[in-house]
Amino acid sequence: MKALWWYLPLEALVILLAQQAMGFAPAHALLAITAAAAVTVMLVALPDIQEPRWPRESSDRRDGARDQVTALSWAFMTRDESVSTRGLHAVRKAATARLALHGVDLADPAHARAARELLGQGAYALLTTYGPPPSMAQLGRCIDRLTAIEPAALMAAAPHVSPATPRQPSPRIP
């Protein structure tokens, strides 16, 4: 508050000197002094106003929450719109687990024929070769092939169904 009393006379002196040098009318100088005093009071004398903050809510995050799904989907794509190494690793891990239900090891060359029959040649090549990253369309086709593989329990109950054949949706009856 003490600094305010030093600013006001200094501003008045500067404005009066400017009035004499430039030839302002005394009424204009008085108006300028009043405006400068008002601005000084607002900037110096009033306390700092702090913006209110929104309360932070801590929520228990559950697996599979929307933000986790979003983070996972963004983790799949790189800046050049190809699949990231992390995303491809996640798909390989899921494919290994899915094929293991059928007794097929994706990493074992002895099971390569069975893996090709279940996945198809394109998906098998994408999951087993290491080269330039695949496109999102290629990864999407691979994931479609993985989801089309029948679970092992259904395969045991209906062995006549080819595992590489995707299921067709049943027709709707009106």
At residue 130, φ and ψ (nearest 5 deg) are: -120, 115
What pLDDT digit, counting tens, does each position of 34-70 carry? 998 888 887 777 776 777 787 777 666 665 556 666 7
Q: Is it the case that residue 161 has pLDDT exceeding 80?
A: no
Give the span between the Cα atoms of 106 and 115, in whole angstroms. 6
> Which of 7, 27, 6 is CA-nearest to residue 16?
27
What pLDDT digit, counting tens, does each position of 3-36 carry? 667 778 888 888 888 888 888 888 888 898 899 8
**AA letter at 125:** A
Tokens of residue 144, six digits:
């479609």
Contact call for residues 140 and 88 (beta carbons, < 8 A): no
At residue 164, φ and ψ (nearest 5 deg) are: -80, -10
Give the span between the Cα atoms of 76 and 13, in whole angstroms. 67
What pLDDT digit, counting tens, does each position of 90-131 carry? 889 889 988 998 899 999 999 999 999 999 999 999 999 888
**AA letter at 167:** R
The domains of the chain are located at 2-45, 68-157
